[in-house]
Amino acid sequence: MKWQYVEVDKNGIKTKGVLPALSEKEALDILQKEGKFVLSLKPLKDSVFLSHIVFNKDKIVADFTESLANMLSAGIPLVNSLEILFQEERTAYMKNVLKEMIVELKKGKSFYQTIMSFPLFPSLYSAMVRVGEETGKLKEVLKQLQSYTRKNVELRENILSSLYYPVFLMGLSMFTLFYLVLYVLPQLFEIFKGFDAKLPDMTIALMQTVSFVQNYFVWIIIFLFGIIFLIQRYMKTEKGRKAIEIGILKIPKAGELYRLLLNIDFFKPLSLMLKNKIHLNSALEILSQVVKSVVLQNLIENIIASLKKGEGIQMGEKGPLVFSNSTLQMLSIGDKSGKLSDIIAGIEERISEKSAQDIKRVLVLIEPIMILAIGLVIGFIVMSALLPIYSISTMAR
């Protein structure tokens, strides 16, 4: 990843610059070795274009890794492999990335240094490529990254495909309810007013609700958009994201699903790095920059701080919220016995085996819950409309 820094020279003149590095510590070390006095250092955000392709980012990286790994395994040199990929690539963004890669490699840069210059590739990817180059096992490492990235894509696609129907059902139901409230029910209620009959309480409540929505529809829409805007602003702050994550973790089924996803985000990349002999502290620092969850970032930072103090793995009060008691006990045992890498690999393997089933089991509950909720709302509307009709027909007799 890239880091943006501000330095000051002996004359007090400030200058800005961008530096590719795996971690904040590595970027700071490079700048200090160059004799620069650093005032600020922060990660450079992805480009606007890249933010638009965020949902395809994992798939782009997975496809690239798979193609490159296959070519290197066939004995094609790295630069030649990238040139072939460049000729076959159809998207303008990836074609430009491959072109720049080839230019940088021909200048004498390592593949690791080249990869690190592009925000498309996470710090974990860069670190693994660096290990592969330094150990002469780039082909093997790329095969591992291929499996890792492909599984991430499959996991995301499984979750999204499971949500397609519930989201469609919710959208269709909301459209139907708005149509009933704004057009059908008002006409029906006008008919009811023409009869001198006592209306049921639930019908009166529904009529008042429909009248309110009709009279203040524009303001209701503005209010809803305002709420959404404020929530989005709040979610952009670390405090807001953390509060929302903790709230989700405490919801029975949604919390179970989110907790499983956090465990996958923690153990899969960590196990991959430890298997390739990346030191635990370095692996955790890289992982803290890769994960998107603020809660998980805080846990990782707590672990790093406790390891530096020689206190072993300490996660703080949020540890039990993310990890099960058995997982925490296994990590503690592995830390004390010196077999933490093996324990983490075992936990990762167990999570990988059951994650697909657990995610499917939780997601399959969403559909009946939504159908039940929609059924109750529509049932209330139907009953509110039918009861007056029954009363009027009784009076007519």
Give residue-wise pLDDT tens across range 64-116: 988 998 998 888 999 999 999 999 888 888 888 898 899 989 988 888 888 88
The yes-or-no verdict on residue 42 having pLDDT over 60 is yes
pLDDT bin (cut points 50, 70, 90) of residue 52 is very low
Quick one: which of 328, 279, 342 has its CA closest to 307?
Answer: 279
| pLDDT tens column, 328-359 | 888 888 888 888 888 888 888 888 777 777 77
User: Is 280's pLDDT higher than 80?
Assistant: yes
Pairing of strands 37-43, 14-20: unpaired
**Residue 124 domain-assigned?**
yes
A 10 A CB-CB count for 300 gives: 23
Residues 6+ apart with CB under 8 A from 43: 1, 2, 3, 4, 24, 289
Residue 102 is predicted with a pLDDT of 92
In this structure, are 29 and 55 located in the same domain? no
Range ranked top by mean pLDDT from 16-20, 136-140, 387-391: 136-140
> Distance between the two ends of the chain, CA-based, in angstroms?
80
Q: What share of the chain is helix, strand, coil (3-state, %, to 5)?
A: 75, 5, 20
Computed on alpha carbons and rounded to an integer, the radius of gyration of the chain in Å comes to: 28
pTM over 0.75: no
Beta bridge partners of 18: 4
Which residue, among 79, 133, 130, has the nearest Cα to 107 in the 3D structure?
A: 79
Q: Are both 256 and 358 inside the same structural domain?
A: yes
CA dihedral (46, 52, 53, 57) positive or negative: positive
Is 343 within the bounds of a domain? Answer: yes
Q: In CATH, what number is assigned to the domain containing residue 313?
A: 1.20.81
The total of structural domains in the chain comes to: 3
218 domain-assigned: no
Contacts of 4 (CB under 8 A, 6+ apart): 16, 17, 18, 41, 42, 43, 44
Per-residue pLDDT tens digits for 167-215: 888 888 888 887 877 787 787 777 777 666 677 788 888 888 888 888 8
Q: What is the mean pLDDT of the chain?
A: 80
Domain interval for residue 345:
252-363
Same domain, 279 and 307: yes
Whole-number pLDDT of residue 26: 64
- Strands ordered across the beta sheet of 2-8: 14-20, 2-8, 37-43
**CATH code: domain of residue 40:** 3.10.20
